[in-house]
Amino acid sequence: MWWDDDTVEQTVTKQFVSNRLIPQEADRLDQPLSFGDSLTDCTYWEWIDEKAKKIFLVLADLGLPEKIFGLIDNSFDDEDLPIAFDEVARLALTSSKDEKTERKFYNRQFHYLWRRLDKGEHVDYEDDEVIPLDVADKKHAAKENHHVDRVTLPNQPSTMLSRCRVPLGPGHLSWAEFIGEINGIRDVQNEHLLSYWASYTHQGYGYILFTAAPEFSLKSLFTTMPSCLKNLDKKVRRRTVLYWVRCLVDTVCFFHNRDLSHGNIKPSTVMFSNDNLVFFSGFTRFHADILKGVTDNTSFDKEAYDYAAPEKLFKPASSPPTSISRSSGHSNNPTTIAQAPAPDPNHQAADIFSLGCVILELLSLLFKKHGRPFAAHRAAKRRSAGRGGAVPDSSFHKNLDQLESWMVQRVRDASKKDDPVFRGIKPILHVVEQMLSYDPLERPTANEVQTKMYQILAESCGILEPHCADRWDFGMEGLTLGSSPLTSASSSGSMPIQAARKSGSQDGELERSGNRGSGGSFRTAASSSQEAETERPVTRARNGSTDSEKSLRHFFSRDKTNQAKYGSQLRVTF
């Protein structure tokens, strides 16, 4: 039970107090104060009722309710709370000094003094304060990832939020950087994003609360289908998958149109809830992979590598070496990419590539060909003879030819199905083919993908209206904390709201000391066409091009109607 002011006021009645005192002590409640000297007719109960309900609750919790009379005689009331630990001895709670009892009083008083954490707010809590949140699933949080858990608000068990913990201090984010990261995400509110709800600092850590508590991810779905999806009627489940495709495309449009990019699209950052609502996570430095401790440049994230756009594997010459690997030709021996002189990637185009990979996995789910079978097909031409060889490269960007043959087979499978949703597979795969172009300049924009997907789903699949349209506004547009918010150019003129600091903070600490960006942060896209024109296109290195004769390009070219409808103006690179 959380004791807010209303609960304290309604609970601590005269009957409540009397029931916790022996009869002789209860009789004193109606007596005038001993220190009044006839100057006041205030009784002990009236003092408790008007000034000392919280102190009485603390004493009752310690089994010392009778001590309330002595504290009142010494003029203590709730305004004196919190009482510093070295001052608790003045209360004379025991006949002789008892540090254990004093410590209990000191800690317990904060249960009646907690500060509310409201939507859109940031609060800096003192180390001994009680945080008004309940952990929803302690066993789940303890076993898998103690940096990310699910919490509920005080006395509101139905309001579930996701909480991420970030270490602050030397070697980690500073307080100012933490506030800067929050400013970069607090305005990005969307039903299909793990969106900022509130934040706070406590005991050397920063905590961020996000809307919706993720229960499943596509990564887990591709291994085991949860009951919330498995129990659906087969046709409903298929339509749900196509709803997800559209929702994900809509959401990428949402932040691309705000000059932002996700930068970390992969199955583990696409979450869905028990009611099958899909949403993105992983778009900030607070992503779970980072919170698990994968923060150094020597750690290899295979999933990120597999779903990354080709141009993301190159770093500017000034960048430190990275462990991301690529294969040369069909070799299975990775070579480290370090000090590679290449231009910065177009982050939004990279999002389109990664989104295309995820959509292709989701469509494969409709045929029960997702996960391992798909990965095995991608890596089929990269296996070493004999046993004990290196793990074959199953990334999307290194196996584009295999993706072509995979999509051709899925189109053939779809032609044998009666469900209307399968009529959209072929044109959707044509869009995906363009999204997976090696050259980022040849990929469609998010808006182009959205237009084509809506057209295909409506005309081919009979899915006319989004099931979650126009529910993006969370009512926190323009709110910022601290300074130097990581926002797009269009919103850079907004004035930040200063967050309350704990005592002892240094002036000027709010100014960010450089951009310590990390993979998975929302990025601001290039804002000028001149900047975009200076980017050097990445040339596709086609390995084994003789195996591409039976490409999806030729397969689709047999259907001129679909090609005209769904993007023939873009050059297909397969």
**Model pLDDT for residues 103-160, shown as the tens digit of each residue:** 999 999 999 999 999 999 999 999 999 999 999 876 544 344 457 788 999 988 888 8
446-459 and 425-435 are packed helices; what angle lies between their axes, rounded to 10 degrees?
170
**Model pLDDT for residues 398-452, shown as the tens digit of each residue:** 888 889 888 998 999 989 988 888 999 999 999 999 999 999 999 999 999 999 9
Q: Which residues contact 225 (CB under 8 A, 6 or more apart)?
A: none
pLDDT score recorded for residue 514 = 38
**Model pLDDT for residues 274-321, shown as the tens digit of each residue:** 888 898 887 665 654 444 444 444 567 888 888 999 988 754 433 333
pLDDT score recorded for residue 59 = 97
- Tell whether the model's pLDDT for residue 558 goes beyond 50: no
Buried b (16+ CB within 10 A) or exposed e, 214-234: bbbbbbebbeebeeebeeeee
pLDDT score recorded for residue 372 = 80
Count CA atoms within 13 Å of residue 104 on its CB side. 14
Query: Mean pLDDT, the chain, as a whole number?
Result: 75
- Tell whether the model's pLDDT for residue 166 goes beyond 60: yes
Report d(CA 65, CA 155) in Å as an integer: 26
Three-class SS of 96-136: CCCHHHHHHHHHHHHHHCCCCCCCCCEEECCCCCCCCCEEC
User: 377 vs 70, which has greater pLDDT?
Assistant: 70
pLDDT tier at 508, thresholds 50, 70, 90: very low
Q: Which residues contact 78 (CB under 8 A, 6 or more apart)?
A: 51, 52, 53, 54, 55
**Model pLDDT for residues 37-71, shown as the tens digit of each residue:** 666 678 999 999 999 999 999 999 999 999 999 99
Report d(CA 341, CA 534) in Å as an integer: 15
pLDDT score recorded for residue 402 = 86
User: 495 vs 232, which has greater pLDDT?
Assistant: 232
- Tell whether the model's pLDDT for residue 99 goes beyond 90: yes
pLDDT score recorded for residue 468 = 60
Q: Which residues contact 288 (CB under 8 A, 6 or more apart)?
A: 145, 147, 148, 164, 268, 281, 282
Residue with tokens 């209206």: 465
Q: Is the pTM value of this prediction over 0.85?
A: no
The highest-confidence range among 131-140, 466-475, 524-533, by mean pLDDT, is 131-140
Nearest to 262 by CA among 326, 401, 358: 358
pLDDT tier at 507, thresholds 50, 70, 90: very low
Domains, the chain, in order of start with CATH, read 5-112 (no CATH), 116-213+469-497 (3.30.200.20), 216-466+534-565 (1.10.510.10)
pLDDT score recorded for residue 443 = 95
Mean pLDDT to the nearest integer, 26-33: 92
User: 574 vs 356, which has greater pLDDT?
Assistant: 356
> Dihedral angle at the C-alpha atoms of 528, 474, 218, 262, nearest 10 degrees?
20
**Model pLDDT for residues 471-492, shown as the tens digit of each residue:** 444 444 444 444 333 333 333 3
- Tell whether the model's pLDDT for residue 393 goes beyond 70: yes
Residue with tokens 């000094």: 97
pLDDT score recorded for residue 287 = 53
Nearest to 65 by CA among 80, 55, 75, 79: 55
pLDDT score recorded for residue 103 = 96
Are the beta carbons of 381 and 402 closer than 8 angstroms? yes
pLDDT tier at 36, thresholds 50, 70, 90: low
- Tell whether the model's pLDDT for residue 371 goes beyond 60: yes
Are the beta carbons of 268 and 148 closer than 8 angstroms? no
Q: In 10 A of CB 542, how many CB atoms? A: 14
